Amino acid sequence: MSVLAPPLPVRRSRKLARWAPYAVLAGSAAFSAGLLALLTTVTIAGLFALTAVSYAVAITTLSRVVEGPRWAKDRLATALVTLAFLLALIPLVSLLAIVVGDGLGGFSWDFLSTDMVGVFGSMTSGGALHAIIGTVYVTGIASLVSIPLGIFTAIYLVEYGQGRLKRGITLLVDVMTGIPSIVAGLFAYTVFLVLFGPAYKSALIGGVALAVLMTPVVIRSVEEMLRLVPNELREASYALGVPKWLTVVKVVLRTSVAGITTGVMIAIARVIGETAPLLMTVGIAQNVNWDAFDGRIATLPVFVYRQYAQGGVAADRAWAGALTLIIIVMLLNLIARLVSRYFAPKGAR
């Protein structure tokens, strides 16, 4: 019986120099620019696309001639993956660039520390303090409701739930994940209308609307994280004579706390920019409202929307408000990262 020998490894006899891909890239860019100038006009998008194509063709051909077919495929794949990465980066970078570029003009300490009382027409003063406070209140209320509720529900689903109740809750969470935000706003609005009458307006209503949106997101991500905790760790804990609830608290939650923090932050980031339900439930105000349970309150997304709709100098405030919102989300992310770093399981080899 003949035994199939494994194929011998093919060695790369000649290798392109390290700088070769960059030279090819520069060459393709120059070639594309020249071609475009000859035929039509040079645009950034056109230059980018043509450079990408000619680079991929050139590097593959060159590598095939010099290095051989296998390395040509490798070069082609590298070119394609890099291209995909750059394409994915475009929206992110351009969004950041536009918001920072347009927002920085109106962004100042004054913007952060004043409200809109007595600002009319084309006055350039005024700020978003009231909206920042409103956003903190509304998102804070939503988080106070959603985070404990979401974490406990996820613990129930992963650690305790069985049978019908578990399946029912899972189904409800799935359905809730898909609720359009405007419907959540309508729901909160109606509930408070029925309970407190039409005159009642407060940050609380907005908080409840956002909580409806946020809870399923928290449940989903925490559930995911709890399932990642290996069963062996639970068993190790039980085998030491640790009761189930202590195992859940001190082993399961402790092991997954880094992931849970990240998940919760994503959920907050998801709702902090919600506009529609807030427009409907808390409306807009010009002044700082320190009472979360009474009166209209401004929030950053609604503030941005209103200012932008107004146009003119107010649009600058809209951009500055958008920048503020992004900065808040980034700060939250930073905190989440620090928390995860601190709690993450250490020393995986």
Using rule CB under 8 A, residue 227 touches other proteins: no
Q: Which stretch binds other proteins (CB under 8 A): 117-125, 132-140, 244-252, 306-314?
A: 244-252
Using rule CB under 8 A, residue 32 touches other proteins: no
Taking alpha carbons only, the member of 335, 343, 148 closest to residue 259 is 343
Q: Which of 101, 118, 168, 243 binds other proteins (CB under 8 A)?
A: 243
- The span from the CA of 320 to the CA of 116, in Å, is 14
CB of 221 to other proteins, least distance (A): 20
Q: Which of 59, 79, 131, 251 binds other proteins (CB under 8 A)?
A: 251
Using rule CB under 8 A, residue 131 touches other proteins: no
CB 218 within 8 A of CB 142: no
Q: Which stretch binds other proteins (CB under 8 A): 44-52, 138-146, 234-242, 276-284?
A: 234-242
Taking alpha carbons only, the member of 109, 110, 216, 130 closest to residue 172 is 216
**Helix pair 20-39, 44-66: axis angle to 10 deg:** 130
Using rule CB under 8 A, residue 348 touches other proteins: yes
CB of 346 to other proteins, least distance (A): 4
Using rule CB under 8 A, residue 235 touches other proteins: yes
CB of 162 to other proteins, least distance (A): 7
CB of 51 to other proteins, least distance (A): 47
- The span from the CA of 321 to the CA of 225, in Å, is 34
Using rule CB under 8 A, residue 261 touches other proteins: no
Cβ within 8 Å of residue 169, ≥6 positions away:
153, 156, 157, 161
- The span from the CA of 214 to the CA of 270, in Å, is 8
Using rule CB under 8 A, residue 7 touches other proteins: no
Using rule CB under 8 A, residue 202 touches other proteins: no
**Helix pair 69-103, 313-343: axis angle to 10 deg:** 130
Using rule CB under 8 A, residue 22 touches other proteins: no
Using rule CB under 8 A, residue 130 touches other proteins: no
Please report, as a single letter, which amino acid is at residue 81.
Answer: V
Tokens of 217: 């997101």
- The span from the CA of 274 to the CA of 267, in Å, is 12
CB of 159 to other proteins, least distance (A): 11
Please report, as a single letter, which amino acid is at residue 303.
Answer: F
Q: Which of 123, 250, 331, 342 binds other proteins (CB under 8 A)?
A: 250
State which of positions 145-184 bind other proteins (CB under 8 A): 162
- The span from the CA of 169 to the CA of 82, in Å, is 43
- The span from the CA of 99 to the CA of 167, in Å, is 43
Using rule CB under 8 A, residue 186 touches other proteins: no
Fill in the per-residue mask, 35 to 74: x = in contact with other proteins (CB under 8 A), - = not in contact: ----------------------------------------
Q: Which of 234, 275, 302, 324 binds other proteins (CB under 8 A)?
A: 234
Using rule CB under 8 A, residue 343 touches other proteins: yes
CB of 240 to other proteins, least distance (A): 4
Cβ within 8 Å of residue 273, ≥6 positions away:
300, 301, 325, 329
Q: Which of 6, 241, 311, 341 binds other proteins (CB under 8 A)?
A: 241
- The span from the CA of 332 to the CA of 17, in Å, is 45
CB of 230 to other proteins, least distance (A): 7
CB 284 within 8 A of CB 314: no
CB of 247 to other proteins, least distance (A): 7
User: Which of left, alpha, beta for 207 (phi over 0: left; psi -120 to 50: alpha)?
Assistant: alpha
CB 263 within 8 A of CB 221: yes
Binding region for other proteins (CB under 8 A)? 162, 230, 232-243, 246-247, 250-251, 254-255, 343, 345-349
